[in-house]
Chains A and B, each alone.
Chain A
Amino acid sequence: MLFKKAHQGRCFCAGFRYYRDMIAIIDYGMGNLRSVEKGFLKVGVDVRVTNRPEDVDNADGVVLPGVGAFKDCMQELANLDLVDAVADVIRKGKPYLGICLGLQVLFSESEEFGKCRGLDIFRGKVVRFEKSGLKIPQMGWNQLNIKNNNPLFNGIPDKSYFYFVHSFYVAPEDNSIIATTTDYGVEFTSSVRKDNIFAVQFHPEKSQALGLRLLKNFGDIVAAK
């Protein structure tokens, strides 16, 4: 069922503590993280791909990527004892960047394949695009309506295009966390931000120069902490 990961068994000899501002990219088997890792490295941000809770604890910032099904994602996080580690990171106020599923799992529940509980950091649901005539998944480049000042979008103009691949989107109960919206039949929440929690529905690692800029911005946020 699950996509087995690229980085399994890879040895990271360099100790975490030798890096300043280290960012952990959590690899829990949901999709290939190679582009996320390489994207950060391209813009000079140190990252480490890991599935160990202690690495997540020790990191200065955490990235939770992933594509696939919500339920599998929660299941895999649980199997690897990562649910508490991720929740701790958020509770401690360390910068968190969720990408795609890493956005969706922050919410209370998803209607994908029957109801499934999420991390419940934010109140709200993950729902499916329903409008008739709409191609699903939404696949391609769509624009962001940037709601307010947000360091993640430094240097990224309003209405910029990012790459999306998804059939579900988040519907937050608290509108104040909505960082950007995007139009696809409906105006949906394409990213959220609350304090040091940043999460995006689109794929910065596939969004060319502006995507790399966003990854760099997250690196700067972690460095500034």
Chain B
Amino acid sequence: MLAKRIIPCLDVRDGRVVKGVNFQNLTDAGDPVENAKFYDEQGADELVFLDVTASHEKRKIILDVVARTADDVFMPLTVGGGIRTLDDIRDLLNAGCDKVSINTTAVRDPYFIRQASERFGSQCIVVAVDAKRVVEGMRFEPGEPWLGDPYLSEVRLGIPSNGDTVWALSTHGGRKMRRLDAVKWAKKMQDLGAGEILLTSMDRDGTKDGYDIKLTRKISETVTIPVVASGGVGTLEHLREGLVEGKADAALAASIFHYREYSVHEAKEYLKSKGVPVRL
């Protein structure tokens, strides 16, 4: 039986893991390779590096990080952040990563996902869907220029008259809201060739209140590609909720693992005790 995946996420800036203060028994707490090995030993199912490097000039550093990690740790590795061109993807894959996660570039040009999946295969193209519940007074960026394209126009955000919750897509780490329906967007990304959705609730990200279960379930039931739930994990029960009630295929978390509140192994023991299929 396919196991539900537990995926620690590491934020990397200028080649160093940020957030890292509590790894006392690592020789170098900021070294991504040391961190990756640490999670490898705990039985993490995959790793995600989120490159939060601000300056474009320093972006090449992540390639070295990926190469050094992939030479030492034999597990699936995803890199997200700042991917703009097919060459960026090629360089990352050649460095040894298995999947790339794309957000802003897909919003700028949805057909980029088709090009990328045709060239490199759907299995390595992850679309990061950052979603936020639409509330009154929400400020949006101007509509996307490509919304005139009939094939794409259906992802336009509409406000249902019956008061149902809708989620808008956000970019730039939650700073910019788009007039796009996150659920329809996820489906469109699948149709254009994405092999996986990395779904983050921007309402929950950083809150430790748990995943947005309604959103996670909605998207998991809408697409037929795997969905990774992200944003808001504070307890092990939150992981279970995302995987069972939210129907996600994988659960991503950063802080609870990073600050060593729980190990990946403890998380899996808990899930197993609740009847969730995990690899132990």
Contact call B74/A139, Cβ cutoff below 8 A = no
Chain B interface extent, by class: 35 or more
Does A141 contact B3, Cβ atoms closer than 8 Å?
yes
Q: Which residues of A are found within 8 Å of B122, using beta-carbon distances?
A: 137, 167
Asked whether any CB of chain A lies closer than 8 Å to the CB of B96, the reply is: yes
CB-based contact A1/B90 at 8 Å:
no
B149 at interface by CB-CB < 8 Å: no
Could you say which of B2, B74, B98 contacts A42, with CB atoms under 8 Å apart? Answer: B74
The answer, yes or no, to whether A206 is at the interface (CB within 8 Å) is yes
A161 touches B94 (CB 8 A): no
Contact partner, B121, options A39, A68, A135, A183, Cβ 8 Å: A68
Interface pair A139/B196, CB less than 8 Å apart:
yes
Instruction: Kindly identify which residue among B74, B119, B121, B279 contacts A35, using a CB–CB cutoff of 8 Å.
Output: B74
User: CA separation between A165 and B124, bound complex, in Å?
Assistant: 9
Q: Report the bound CA distance from A222 to B1 in whole Å.
A: 32
The verdict on A205 contacting chain B, using a C-beta distance below 8 Å, is yes
A154-189 CB mask vs B (1 if < 8 Å, else 0) is 000000010111110000000000000001100000
Known: A137-B226, A163-B76. A142 touches B1 (CB 8 A): yes
Which residues of chain B have C-beta atoms less than 8 A from A1's C-beta? 118-119
Contact (Cβ within 8 A) B74 A207: yes
Q: Which chain B residues numbered 74 to 116 have a C-beta less than 8 Å away from chain A?
A: 74-76, 90, 93-96, 98
Of residues 1 through 18 on chain B, the ones whose CB sits less than 8 Å from some CB of chain A are 1-5
Task: Point out the residue from B90, B123, B279 that lies within 8 Å of A67, measured CB to CB.
Answer: B123
A29 to B112, CA, bound (A): 21
- Stretch of A2-10, A55-63, A89-97 on the interface side: A2-10
Q: Tell yes or no: A75 within 8 A of B by CB.
A: no
A143 touches B (CB below 8 Å):
yes
> Which B residues lie within 8 Å of A138 (CB)?
2
Q: For the complex, what is the distance from the CA of A76 to the CA of B94, rounded to whole Å?
A: 18
* A68 CA / B116 CA spacing, docked (Å): 12
What's the least CB distance linking A211 to chain B, in Å? Answer: 6
B70 near A161: Cβ-Cβ < 8 Å: no
User: How many Å from the CB of A126 to the closest CB on chain B?
Assistant: 15
Q: Is B225 an interface residue (CB 8 A)?
A: yes
In the bound complex, do residue B2 and residue A142 qualify as a contact, i.e. CB atoms below 8 Å apart? Answer: yes
Q: How distant is the Cα of A67 from the Cα of B99 in the complex, in angstroms?
A: 12
- Bound form: Cα–Cα A166–B75 in Å: 16
Known: A1-B118, A38-B71, A163-B76. A139 touches B94 (CB 8 A): no
Closest residue to A138 on the B side, CB-wise?
B2
CB atoms of B94 and A34 under 8 A apart? yes
Q: Are B70 and A38 in contact (CB under 8 A)?
A: yes
B249 within 8 A of A: yes
* Residue in B2, B120, B227 whose beta carbon sits within 8 Å of that of A3 in the complex: B120
Pick the 3 closest A-B CB pairs, nearest first.
A6-B94, A161-B279, A141-B279
Residues of B in contact with A (beta carbons under 8 Å apart)? 1-5, 40, 45, 67, 70-71, 74-76, 90, 93-96, 98, 118-124, 195-196, 224-227, 249-250, 279
Interface residues of A (CB under 8 A from B): 1-6, 31-32, 34-35, 38-39, 42, 67-69, 134-143, 161, 163-167, 183-184, 205-208, 211-212
| 17 pairs of residues in contact across A and B, judged by CB atoms under 8 Å | A31-B121, A32-B93, A34-B70, A34-B94, A38-B71, A67-B121, A67-B124, A137-B122, A137-B123, A137-B226, A140-B4, A141-B3, A142-B1, A163-B76, A165-B98, A206-B75, A207-B74
